[in-house]
Amino acid sequence: MSDALEPVYLICGNDRPKVLRALARLRDRFAGAEATFDAGCDPETVIGAAQQMGLFSGGRLVVAHGVEAWRKDQLPPLDRYLAAPAPDTVVALVGAGVRRDGALAKLLQGPCQLRYDLPTGAELLSHLRSEARRLGADIEPDALRLLIELVGENAPALTNELDKLATHAAGEAIDSHLVEQLAFRGTGGVPFALTNAVSARDRRAAFRALQRSFDAGDKPHALLPQAANQVALLLAARRQRDAGGSPSELARAIAVHEFRAKKAMEAAGRWSERDAALAICRLAEADHAMKGGRRIGPELALERALALSV
């Protein structure tokens, strides 16, 4: 934000931490001289407050939240105010759900629109590197990709995990080992040690990972589909590799992060299409056994399926 302020700012987007930081920077310019309106306010009331505050000397800030609810037919007072704004007064309109093609966004374009949307896909790595620099942390590239794999493509959750890792690292580089130890596995993540062992066809490592998961309270019913999904990914990677495809093509075809697709393509050489298909069948049989199809404990059913497959 430059030294010269616009009379009105639209601060919007679904990246709430950045929206709040932008609003905080604006508030720092006004030393507490502020009027605030919560969601449910209307443009006429907000603009009326701005005009009244402009009658007094010194800078004033008017903040209105929930402006995504403003309708097009409510905006004429704001349009007129933009033509003749109150001196030394700034109006900050804050809303997470302001549409890019909505009337409010079209009215407030250019430098007066500060939009902060959560990154996705390829933008996510760049966003997290920037967050790491802001936190004074150094995270290794593989560790960053692993963090995304474990937590899922959820920018707020990833930022929180990065903050935790930076605090724990205390100035040291954040590596994959630290991420695997500390990162919370979100609903979009997977138990990395188990899926990594399955990919590598490392039976001993797979059983160690299983035992750690059981000790941590993970249920076989939750672990089995994750192992099956990994084998299905490896099967798709094998087919993509045989067809001369690339990791990015695989990622787009089956909607996974490109890091996972790349790792699967690298591991696919250890799996034939037949072996992967048989492993999926064995894991399906284990799932049937867990659901009462056979008199066998769920942990043993999963262990037997992996022993025969990996």
Of the chain, the percentage scoring pLDDT greater than 90 comes to 45
Beta bridge partners of 120: none
Q: How far apart are CA 270 and CA 236, in angstroms?
A: 13
Report helix, strand or coil for 99.
Answer: coil
> Do the Cβ atoms of 126 and 119 come closer than 8 Å?
yes
* Res 188: pLDDT: 43
pLDDT at 55 exceeding the cut of 60: no
Mean pLDDT, residues 202-224: 84
Does pTM top 0.85 for this prediction?
no
Tell me the per-residue pLDDT of 157-203, one tens digit each, with 9 for 90 and over. 788 788 888 888 888 899 988 887 777 655 444 467 788 889 999 99
Which single residue is written with the structure tokens 């930081």?
21
> For residue 292, what are the contacts with CB-CB under 8 A and spacing of at least 6?
none
Distance CA 159, CA 16 (A): 12
**What is residue 58's predicted lDDT score, i.e. its pLDDT?**
64
Structure tokens at 260: 């996972």
3-class DSSP assignment, residue 146 = helix
Q: Per-residue pLDDT averaged across 79-94, rounded? A: 94
Would the pLDDT of 32 be above 70?
no
Q: Between 11 and 125, name the one with better pLDDT.
A: 11
For residue 280, give the nearest of 236, 205, 229 by alpha carbon.
229
Whether the Cβ atoms of residue 156 and residue 16 lie closer than 8 Å to each other: yes
Section 58-86 average pLDDT: 93
Domains parsed from the chain with CATH numbers? 8-115 (3.40.50.300), 122-182 (1.10.8), 192-309 (1.20.272.10)
- A 10 A CB-CB count for 216 gives 8
Provide the angle, in degrees to the nearest 10, between the axes of the packed helices 273-288 and 298-309: 170
What is the pLDDT, as a whole number, of residue 281? 93
Q: Helices marked H in 152-257 — which ranges?
A: 155-169, 176-182, 192-200, 203-215, 220-242, 247-254
Return the C-alpha torsion angle 188, 193, 194, 195, nearest 10.
Answer: 60
Round to whole Å and give the CA distance between 49 and 29.
19
Of the two residues 118 and 108, the one the predictor is more confident about is: 108
Whether residue 158 contacts residue 128, with contact meaning beta carbons closer than 8 Å, is answered with yes
